[in-house]
Amino acid sequence: MEAFDEKRLNDGCIDRISRLPDEILGEILCRLTTKKAAATCILSTRWRKVFPYKVPLTQIHLDDTELLRGPKGTANALQIL
């Protein structure tokens, strides 16, 4: 198993972003929407560990419009009301 400091991407480049301290990774994730931050964390096991613990709840931006829209072909929740 390769050491974290020597981790390389598929193209041979060194993964320097994942080597940043948790506080900086958390700051980066805080500047994304919740959906994009969660999607970003899927790409790296290191980021997955940072997201739930380092992103303050006050920084999470929730977008309810997707919940109200529903899947294609279903009634819009706002139209029902």
Taking only the tens place, the pLDDT of each residue in 25-61 is 888 887 887 778 878 878 777 777 776 655 555 555 5
| 29 in Cβ contact with 47 (< 8 Å) | yes
Question: What's the distance, Cα to Cα, between the start and end of the chain in Å?
Answer: 56
Which tokens is 65 given?
A: 């419009």
pLDDT for residue 72 is more than 70: no
| In the chain, domain spans | 4-80
pLDDT score, position 27: 83
Q: Is the dihedral of CA 19, 29, 45, 15 positive or negative?
A: negative
Q: Quote the CA–CA distance of 48 and 63 in Å, as a whole number.
A: 21
Q: Under DSSP, is residue 23 helix (H, G, I), strand (E, B) or coil?
A: helix
Model pTM? Answer: 0.48
